[in-house]
């Protein structure tokens, strides 16, 4: 098992270049499956989840070649299988994105159901209902979703659950509908930047999509798409993680290649806590306060609300605040796993249903802790940077799923940590 040994860090200073987005790139890789030809995707992050998705595409017979670091050529002229291997779907929930393109392009998809996840129950019923509304016959016995539309998909009105405006279902249904006959509308569509980027990519390839960035998407099916060149958006969760790292460890850090517009809610909450955040084009400067942070409440919500993926980082900041903060997690029902570990570092956190009541303490102390998913792992690193003494984080491999060169980037701005393998093979899976 991989362990990360993190020491209290002197104030962080310098600059960090943000990589391409994990959750923005995975849908682009799936969308490239709709194109009978070559597509070039730039700013592809070098992370484990992208690697898993590329293995998935290759297992379906699609050619994927890196022309240079971060620049990927995908040739989906031939797709020779509609069966997604279970060992890849179980590693990463995002691989379920292949269902929509397989159905749209081949009229058939067999994709194992992704199953449970440590951050909460994560069904795919909205995706399935969307495929059925487009005319597919779906059977999900024996743990596999088998969708068939031998005479093609037909546009329809699809109404997603307004409580969540599911990111995954919006993308999967949009991918399936792009080559369908007729017009599809998706109501209560997600408007996360990653969904917008996927829609823009599809449009650049010839898809007819209106309402991009809104909660109603209208997709007029086209017969085929043409290959294009498209850059993945910067990872707003990586940027947010470095913003919180600076706020927690102290210091003055500049983030390069970010879209500050994607982080408006996060910037607002950090400013409320007393952190100085300056925006300048595609750069952000974060200047931590020398005082403890002020307590700030958050409620996670679909974009443009506060992102669930940064809730753990906010929990760490709140743990050191001068008063009590209330966090409300509305997206995933088990995303407070990290708080038990923070409590081992001296945090005072009580969970009641969707709420975390966090009473700030003057100082956290290093302790052995265990990460349960990629965002929990990042939050524990942030806690460790600001804690007294050394923290040993088990399951550090989770960081590699979503953060390119995380430790190297933190080292470059003054953080001190080292990764080791303790020789124990126990590893947890989380389907982020």
CA–CA dist 152, 289 (Å, integer)? 58
CA distances, 173 to each of 36, 63, 303, 351 (Å): 19, 24, 19, 35
Find the shortest distance in angstroms from Cβ 87 to ligand EPU. Answer: 18
Q: Which of 111, 347, 402, 409 binds ligand EPU (CB under 6 A)?
A: 402
List 138's β-bridge partners, or say none.
147
Please report whether residue 404 would count as binding ligand EPU according to CB under 6 A.
no
Is residue 116 helix, strand or coil? coil
Q: Report residue 254: phi and psi, to 5°.
A: -105, 130
Please report whether residue 241 would count as binding ligand EPU according to CB under 6 A.
no
- Looking at the Cβ atoms of 198 and 364, the one nearer to ligand EPU is 198
Please report whether residue 389 would count as binding ligand EPU according to CB under 6 A.
no
- Looking at the Cβ atoms of 123 and 323, the one nearer to ligand EPU is 123
205 is catalytic: no
- The interface with ligand EPU within residues 77-96 (CB under 6 A) comprises 93-94
- Looking at the Cβ atoms of 9 and 172, the one nearer to ligand EPU is 172
Pair 348, 358: CB distance under 8 Å: yes
Q: Which of 6, 18, 26, 202 binds ligand EPU (CB under 6 A)?
A: 26
| Active-site entry in 64, 82, 117, 198 | 117
Tokens of 50: 């992208």
Pair 82, 61: CB distance under 8 Å: no
- The interface with ligand EPU within residues 253-292 (CB under 6 A) comprises none
The interface region with ligand EPU, picked from 118-126, 207-215, 347-355, 404-412 by CB under 6 A, is 118-126
Please report whether residue 188 would count as binding ligand EPU according to CB under 6 A.
no
Site string for ligand EPU, 131-170 (x = CB under 6 A): ---------------------------------x-xxxx-
Tokens of 396: 């550090």
SS (H, E, C) 251-292: EEEEEECCCHHHHHHHHHHHHHCCCEEEEECCEEEEECCCCC
- CA neighbor of 151 nearest in space, from 116, 180, 190: 180
- Looking at the Cβ atoms of 133 and 321, the one nearer to ligand EPU is 133
Q: Which stretches does DSSP call E strand in 288-409?
A: 298-299, 324-328, 348-352, 355-359, 368-370, 390-394
Asked if the bond preceding 304 is cis, omega within 30° of 0, the reply is: yes
- Looking at the Cβ atoms of 9 and 25, the one nearer to ligand EPU is 25
Active site residues: 117
Interface residues with ligand EPU (CB under 6 A) are 22-23, 26, 93-94, 121-127, 164, 166-169, 308-309, 331-332, 374-375, 402, 432
């Amino acid at each position: 098992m991989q362990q990360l040994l993190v020491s209290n860090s002197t104030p962080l200073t310098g600059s960090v270049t943000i990589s391409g987005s994990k959750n923005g790139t995975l849908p682009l890789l799936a969308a490239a499956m709709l194109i009978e030809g070559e597509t070039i995707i730039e700013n592809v992050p070098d992370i484990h989840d992208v690697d898993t998705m590329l293995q998935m595409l290759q297992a379906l017979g699609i050619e994927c070649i890196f022309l240079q670091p971060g620049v990927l050529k995908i040739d989906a002229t031939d797709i020779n299988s509609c069966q997604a291997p279970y060992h890849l779907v179980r590693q990463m929930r995002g691989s379920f994105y292949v269902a929509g393109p397989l159905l749209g392009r081949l009229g058939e998809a067999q994709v194992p159901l992704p199953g449970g996840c440590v951050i909460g129950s994560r069904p795919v019923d909205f995706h399935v209902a969307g495929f059925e509304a487009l005319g597919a016959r779906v059977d999900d016995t024996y743990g596999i979703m088998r969708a068939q539309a031998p005479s093609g998909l037909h546009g329809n009105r699809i109404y997603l659950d307004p409580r969540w405006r599911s990111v995954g279902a919006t993308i999967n249904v949009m991918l399936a509908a792009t080559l369908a006959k007729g017009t599809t509308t998706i109501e209560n569509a997600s408007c996360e930047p990653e969904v917008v980027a996927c829609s823009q990519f599809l449009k650049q390839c010839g898809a007819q999509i209106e309402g991009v960035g809104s909660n109603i998407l209208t997709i007029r099916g086209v017969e085929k798409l043409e290959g294009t060149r498209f850059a993945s958006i910067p990872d707003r969760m990586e940027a947010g993680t470095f913003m919180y790292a600076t706020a927690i460890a102290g210091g003055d850090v500049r983030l390069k290649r970010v879209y500050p517009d994607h982080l408006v809610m996060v910037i607002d909450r950090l400013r409320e806590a007393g952190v100085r955040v300056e925006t300048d084009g595609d750069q952000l400067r974060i200047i931590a306060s020398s005082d403890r942070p002020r307590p700030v409440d958050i409620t996670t919500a679909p974009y443009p609300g506060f992102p669930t993926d940064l809730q753990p980082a906010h929990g760490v900041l709140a743990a050191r605040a001068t008063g009590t903060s209330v966090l409300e997690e509305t997206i995933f029902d088990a995303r407070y796993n990290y708080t038990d570990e923070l409590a081992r570092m001296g945090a005072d956190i009580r969970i009641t249903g969707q709420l975390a009541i966090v009473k700030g303490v003057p100082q956290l102390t290093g302790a052995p802790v265990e990460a349960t998913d990629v965002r929990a792992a990042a939050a524990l690193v942030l806690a460790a940077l600001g804690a007294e003494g050394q923290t040993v984080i088990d399951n550090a491999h989770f960081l590699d799923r979503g953060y390119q060169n995380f430790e190297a980037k933190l080292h470059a701005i003054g953080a001190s940590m080292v990764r080791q393998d303790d020789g124990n093979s126990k590893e947890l899976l989380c389907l982020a």
